[in-house]
Amino acid sequence: MTASLDALQLDQLWDAALHGLPVPQPIGDLGAIQLLELLTHTTRPAPPAAFVASLEEGLGLASAAAPSPAGAELPRPTPGQRTAEPARSCWKPPQSRWVTSGYAVAAVVVVLLLSAFTVIRQLDPFEDDRAIPAAGDWTGDGPPSSLNLVPSVWFATTWPTEWLEGFSFSDWSWIGFDEGTVAAGAHSEGLNGVDAAWFPGISVVLVQDGQLAFRLSATAQVLTGKPGTDDLHAVTPSTEVTIGPGESIVYSVASFEEVWNPTDQEADYVAGGLYTRAVYPLGFPGPASHVASTGISFGDDFLAETSDVSFDLQTLVIEPGKRYAYSIGPQTLLLANIQGDGLVLQAWENGTAREKPKTLFESRYALHQSGAGYYTLTNTGSEPVQISLFRATASKSPLPASVVATDRSWSAGGSAFAEPQASVSQSPMSAVREHLPVGAITRHRPSGGS
């Protein structure tokens, strides 16, 4: 039955399927690909959230770790409770010594928290009486806009679910993020050269430098135009679209055919998207064309009863001693690519630090795993740190108050180009929603850097 696919080909195909990447070479055996899809996509039992949180605590990691996606509402029994009532789906210590160890860990955590609070106060260049809202109040006013930095490039759009006929958001489970440099003339068939229709999803691509050309088989939403102006273009089938610095494209993956660098110079891009499986937005071959990618699965309920999804892409530079503030809502996914060391992540609640600060390395992170709330990234190093962010926010209904609130929260992190006292009403996303219909795409590319 597998005569057309030998053991080595199967091995390579399986590697590619696991990581949602194009197959190493053309595979004509579609049945094999389909079976791999079934295997990798269907059989994935997930651990109970309560168990994940409980084991995390049992390992002594809870105070420093990103909590599970379910957020802070997860029950976290005390060590004593775990021993007395080892409920199913909660971690059970294999040895009773963990009871006493738990108290020791708790004591250490308290000391660490006190130390962390001291550290963050020392690092904080702002007034002690600053008002950073409670984590549970993430829809309220954000941190003072003076905390925030001007993104060098910024893009946001909203994608109504009706633009994706035939796709159920309940099937989606993967957020991907990709940042790289594309060699001159490089070409890619993207997510899957065999059949992109197998990977329903939405991709958002922002070109920072150079040019990228796309060919799409169906209508897509495309933004082109000079900085400071916004145009919404519908691309006709099989049309080539070339976008340059500061320009973006949003498309349904099912319509995607190919992407290439049409010039003799390198092109830099940032891309993100939501998918039904583990894929990355663009798949340029070659070691020099792909500098960072990350992806993480999210819960089946993230997009349940969703009417639209907002996407934000930002790149910015955090100078030494500066802080960047952002918020995470209950239906926010946020991936970050950090280029440089020295960033310290701190969660805030009621104006005080929540949990111990966490050092972030030059790497990729799923920042939404820290749960809903307000956060700051402080550059404690001596060198500027560049960070790229891709955020997806699901909305329950068109233009609800919560969407605007979400934008306000986010724009608190990205709207420093507005006057501080007017950061909410003049935030880019709010302006978009006020002046454009749902689904309209806009882009803001301030001239200044950080």
Partner 1 sequence: METDQGPVTNTLRDIDTLDAELLAAALADRAAFALLYHRYVGPVYAYCRRRLDAQDAEDATSHIFLQALSRLETCRSPSFRAWLFTIAHNVVVDRLRARKPALELDDSLGIPSNERSPEDQALDADRRERLACAIRALPADQRAAVELRLAGLTGVECAQVLGKSPDATRMLQHQAFGTLRTALADLSPGELA
Q: Is residue 83 a contact point for partner 1 (CB under 8 A)?
A: no
Decide: is 195 part of the binding site for partner 1 (CB under 8 A): no
* Residue 304 within binding range of partner 1, rule CB under 8 A: yes
Minimum CB distance to partner 1, residue 229 (Å): 35
According to the binding rule CB under 8 A, does residue 6 interact with partner 1? Answer: yes
Q: How far apart are CA 291 and CA 182, in angstroms?
A: 10
Evaluate whether 355 touches 197 at the Cβ level (below 8 Å).
no
Cβ closest to partner 1, residue 63 vs residue 224: 63
Tokens for 174, please give them: 């993967």
The C-alpha atoms of residue 359 and residue 382 are separated, in whole angstroms, by 15
Q: 374 with 133: CB under 8 angstroms?
A: yes
By CB under 8 A, tell whether 419 contacts partner 1.
Answer: no
CB 207 within 8 A of CB 243: yes
Amino acid at 116: A
Q: How far apart are CA 129 and CA 362, in angstroms?
A: 31
By CB under 8 A, the residues from 250 to 289 that bind partner 1 are 280, 283-287
Q: How far apart are CA 206 and CA 250, in angstroms?
A: 9
Least distance from partner 1 to the Cβ atom of residue 286, Å: 7
Q: How many residues bind partner 1 (CB under 8 A)?
A: 76
CA 355-360-362 angle, 5° bins: 175
**Which residue's CB is nearer to partner 1, number 5 or number 223?**
5
| Closer residue to partner 1, CB minimum distance, 303 or 418 | 303
What is the Cα–Cα distance from 340 to 362, expressed in whole angstroms?
5
Instruction: Considering the complex, state which of residue 360 and residue 416 has its C-beta at the smaller distance from partner 1.
Output: 360
Residue 292 in contact with partner 1, rule: CB under 8 A: yes
Place of tokens 């990798």: 40
Q: Can you tell me which of 89, 265, 350, 425 binds partner 1, judged by CB under 8 A?
A: 89
Is 40 an interacting residue with respect to partner 1 (CB under 8 A)? yes
Q: Which is nearer to partner 1, 377 or 412 (CB)?
A: 377
Which residues, listed in sequence order, are joined to residue 392 by a DSSP beta bridge?
Answer: 311, 333
Long-range contacts of 1-5 (CB under 8 A, 24+ apart): 1/31, 2/29, 2/32, 4/28, 4/29, 4/32, 5/29, 5/32
Give the range of 89-97, 146-154, 269-277, 405-413 binding partner 1 by CB under 8 A: 89-97
Q: Is 162 among the residues that bind partner 1 (CB under 8 A)?
A: no
From the list 35-43, 215-223, 342-350, 435-443, the region that binds partner 1 by CB under 8 A is: 35-43
Task: Using CB under 8 A, pick the residue from 38, 84, 114, 184 that binds partner 1.
Answer: 38
Q: What share of the chain is helix, strand, coil (3-state, %, to 5)?
A: 25, 30, 45
35 lies in the binding site for partner 1 (CB under 8 A): yes
Whether the Cβ atoms of residue 391 and residue 175 lie closer than 8 Å to each other: no
Stretch that binds partner 1, among 147-155, 218-226, 361-369, 402-410 (CB under 8 A): 361-369
Round to whole Å and give the CA distance between 213 and 241: 5
CA distances from 241 to 159, 257, 261, 405, 420 (A): 19, 12, 11, 34, 37
Binding mask 104-133 for partner 1 (x = CB under 8 A): --------x---------------------
397 binds partner 1 (CB under 8 A): no
Which of these ranges, 91-99, 346-354, 380-388, 394-402, lies near partner 1 under the rule CB under 8 A? Answer: 91-99
Q: What angle do CA 393, 173, 430 make, to 5 degrees?
A: 10
Does residue 32 touch partner 1 according to CB under 8 A? yes
Out of 7, 96, 128, 234, point to the residue binding partner 1 (CB under 8 A). 7
220-249 residues in contact with partner 1 (CB under 8 A) are: none
Nearest approach, Cβ of residue 327 and partner 1 (Å): 20
170 forms part of the interface with partner 1 (CB under 8 A): yes
Stretch that binds partner 1, among 15-23, 218-226, 259-267, 421-429 (CB under 8 A): 15-23
Interaction of residue 45 with partner 1, rule CB under 8 A: yes
User: Whose CA is closest to 414, among 385, 380, 384, 443?
Assistant: 443
In this chain, which stretch among 3-11, 209-217, 321-329, 436-444 interacts with partner 1, using CB under 8 A? 3-11
At residue 91, the 3 state secondary structure works out as coil
Stretch that binds partner 1, among 11-19, 156-164, 224-232, 382-390 (CB under 8 A): 11-19
Among 4, 28, 46, 420, binds partner 1 (CB under 8 A): 46
Pick from 302, 377, 413, 304: nearest CA to 69: 302
What is the closest distance, in whole angstroms, from the C-beta atom of residue 335 to partner 1 in the complex?
13
* Of 263, 137, 288, 287, residue with least CA distance to 207: 263
Q: What CA–CA distance (Å, rounded) separates 332 from 170?
A: 16
Q: Closer to partner 1 at the Cβ: 352 or 363?
A: 363
